[in-house]
């Protein structure tokens, strides 16, 4: 289960959270794992709710748009599941 803390995303942690989100999205593209997709959705919501600046809130918004594009573009069939 994904556990969200009450922490606020600051400028210091924002780059880490954004990089983690991009990595998770990259892994989803490789695996197509639905559990990973759910974790990304929860992570994006967590980031949005805890953004401490307009810069981080804007990054969350852009990542959400990118995530929607990734999940719509699931036209490549996978021959077998990939471990992640």
Q: What is the pLDDT of residues 41-77, one digit of tens each?
A: 988 888 888 888 888 888 888 998 888 888 876 655 5
Give every CB contact of residue 84 below 8 A, 6+ residues apart in sequence.
27, 30, 31, 33, 36
User: Model-level pTM?
Assistant: 0.68
Closest CA to 24 of 3, 4, 44, 50: 44
């Amino acid at each position: 289960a994904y556990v969200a803390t009450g922490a606020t995303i600051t400028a210091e942690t924002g780059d880490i959270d954004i990089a983690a989100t991009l990595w998770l999205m990259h892994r989803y593209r490789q695996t197509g794992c639905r559990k990973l997709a759910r974790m990304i959705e929860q992570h994006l919501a967590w980031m949005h709710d805890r953004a401490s600046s307009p810069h981080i809130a804007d990054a969350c918004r852009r990542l959400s748009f990118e995530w929607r594009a990734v999940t719509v573009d699931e036209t490549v069939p996978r021959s077998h599941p990939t471990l992640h």
